[in-house]
Copies of this chain bind each other. A is one copy, B any other.
Amino acid sequence: MELKNKKWSHDEFYAMRKDVLTHWATGAEVDFDEAVRYHATIPAKKHFAKRLTKAKKAGETLTQPRAGVALIDEHINLLNYLAEEGEADLLPSTIDSYTRQNQYKEAQNGIEESLRAGRSLLNGFPAVNHGVAGVRRVVEAVKGPVQVRHGTPDARLLTEITLAGGFTAYEGGGISYNIPYAKSVSLEKTIFDWQYCDRLVGIYAEHGVEINREPFGPLTGTLVPPSVSHSVAIIEAILAAEQGVKNITLGYGQCGNLIQDVAAIKALEQLAEEYLAKHGYNDCLLTTVFHQWMGGFPQDEAKAFAVISWGAAAAALAKATKVIVKTPHEAFGIPTKEANAQGLKTTKQLISMLRDQPFPITQEVEAEINIIKAETRCILDKVFELGGGDFAAGTVRAFEAGILDVPFSPSKYNLNKILPARDNNGAVRLFNTGNLPFTQEIVDFHREKMAERAKFEGRSASFQMVIDDIYAISHGRLVGRPK
């Protein structure tokens, strides 16, 4: 197999499909034509892509939680509670970690233990084990549009089952569900497997079924500079579009400095439009998703509400199409449904209070947009070049060379050479730009920013600064200053 960013033929796809559907017993339940007919019966208000498109036009920011439990009825109750009490606009089904690792036996075990224990022992909804019929019970009983959210390097069977089950949106990607989630799965393999998922969405599209696709924007969630996550997001958008995906949501995880966060969403939108058009994908509808702070949270719930609110504010001011919501239990564990609803309500209140006041595109925002764009272009163009004009092949080589490099990734396919830290205003910069293909001007920019902070703090930029920044928000600050 030679990895190329090229639309799979139906033959290629169906050949692989035979095998995929045997990975677990429930694969046999998938009947594509019947599934297409089933999708035709889903009402518009439960349709994810349609709801997003409407929100984009109206300038709304929609709220979406993370949530998933082991058993179907509990899962339905949970989602409906979040829709009603939490006023969530969009719903998720967060998949458990065994399923994410294709450990369906362990997932089955988790279902059974949960039945016995009377509480969920899984950290998510094991959709593959529940099968098409189980998934449909959820889709039918739940009051809003639902998306699959996971973190699965090889998600082929999960995609088959959940889409046949009637989900209208699907998170993930060959890079974004590998680099933060896996240790020793090659990018060649995950990009290839995700071409399968994207192709399946594309084939649904060919049959008139619109499914929203969303690369996982925040990656490791820990001090990821916008240009790094934007590069990954845009590459995944291109890979998806090539396979026929038409409705794409690109994501970004809050860094915490308002100017940088607003600029990041604007830059992401503009760059994605530009690159998709430039590479010949002109019929995708793009929306954006802003993730509330994805790193370590404060344990105190009142303090967690502050972090949640600041994320809500930034999402609203940046006019992201949707916001993924954290909860006051974040530092401890999977939230109760009540805690989850609280995070949603806090977010909803802030978003609706701010919807009438867009953040002005000030000089500072403009400057930040420009730097993010310049950095991202350096990376993307180099990836394309390394791939000899192919983003799929280029991505694999770029990670090898550290041209793409995600901080704190557990993957051995990631070089782990760059080191991010906050500048004196809390924006995420690089105190080591590693092998990122930046111009000297950009490298100097980062160096100056770090020097400014180092001088202010009376210490030199070092790994201790990075550690301080990692703990900062959970300890009540944005910038990890020395004591």
> Measuring CB to CB, which residues of chain A are less than 8 angstroms from any residue of chain B?
256-259, 298, 300-303, 305-310, 312-313, 341-350, 352-357, 360, 362-364, 424-426, 473, 476-479
Contact = CB atoms under 8 A, between A and B. Distances in A.
B348 A476 contact: yes
A465 to B, nearest CB: 14
A426 B357 contact: yes
A353 B305 contact: no
B357 A258 contact: yes
Contacts of A354: 310, 478
A343 B353 CA distance: 19
B256 A353 contact: yes
Contacts of A345: 300, 302-303, 306
B477 A346 contact: no
A362 B355 CA distance: 20
Given A356-B426, A360-B363, A362-B362, 11 more contacts: A259-B357, A300-B349, A302-B349, A303-B349, A306-B353, A309-B310, A352-B476, A352-B478, A353-B426, A357-B425, A357-B478
Copies in the complex: 2
Nearest to A327: B302
B350 A310 contact: yes
A353 B473 contact: yes
Nearest to A301: B342
Nearest to A306: B349
Nearest to A347: B306
18 contacts: A259-B360, A300-B345, A302-B344, A302-B349, A305-B305, A305-B306, A305-B308, A305-B309, A306-B309, A306-B350, A306-B353, A307-B353, A309-B309, A309-B346, A310-B353, A355-B477, A357-B426, A362-B363
A306 B312 contact: yes
Contacts of A473: 353
A302 B360 contact: no
A443 to B, nearest CB: 23
A63 to B, nearest CB: 12
Nearest to A341: B302
Contact of A425 (B307, B350, B356): B356
A303 B298 CA distance: 19
A37 to B, nearest CB: 38
Nearest to A364: B360
Contacts of A341: 302
A84 to B, nearest CB: 13
A317 to B, nearest CB: 8
A349 B313 contact: no
A408 B86 CA distance: 34
A58 to B, nearest CB: 13
Contact of A356 (B313, B352, B424): B424
Nearest to A422: B356
B426 A477 contact: no
Contacts of A476: 348-349, 352-353
The 4 nearest A-B residue pairs measured at CB = A309-B309, A306-B349, A302-B345, A302-B342
A310 B355 CA distance: 13
Nearest to A256: B353
Contacts of A350: 306, 309-310
Nearest to A472: B353
A231 to B, nearest CB: 25
Contacts of A257: 357
A12 B220 CA distance: 71
A342 B298 CA distance: 13
B424 A307 contact: no
A307 B349 CA distance: 8
Contacts of A353: 256, 306-307, 310, 426, 473, 476-478
A424 to B, nearest CB: 7
A258 to B, nearest CB: 6
Contacts of A309: 305-306, 309-310, 313, 346, 350
B307 A310 contact: no
Contact of A303 (B302, B307, B346, B356): B346
Contacts of A479: 356
Contacts of A312: 306
